[in-house]
Structure 1
Amino acid sequence: MSERNLLIIGASSGIGAALAQQVAHLGNHNVYVASRREPAYLPLPQAVYLPWDVRQPPATEV
């Protein structure tokens, strides 16, 4: 599989955190995890945390 950019929203808990853990096993991808709170860990050493609350502007602006 070719390298992909993966953005996981809500990665600090619940389904988003579980998905972030699974992504770690997919191979060589650029992983970005976005949530209001920084996760206790990042699923991959190269994962990038993005502080982002999808309920607040500009995230809600189209």
Structure 2
Amino acid sequence: MLSWVVTFLVIALIAGILGFGGIAGASVEIAKAIFFIAVILFLVSAVVGLVRGRTRV
């Protein structure tokens, strides 16, 4: 999922250099949204892992 963030940031950088401000802005917003979704999913999985704990076999 973080590879998508890097991809959109690279697209934003290239579009910004070439003067396509609208595409660059949209790419940055998409990258930020995907990044925050990834962080939230990571935190949720970390909390679930801590709550479940380790089971003894």
TM-score (ref. length: structure 1): 0.31
Q: Which is greater in Rg?
A: 2
Higher helix share: 2
Higher strand share: 1
TM-score (ref. length: structure 2): 0.32
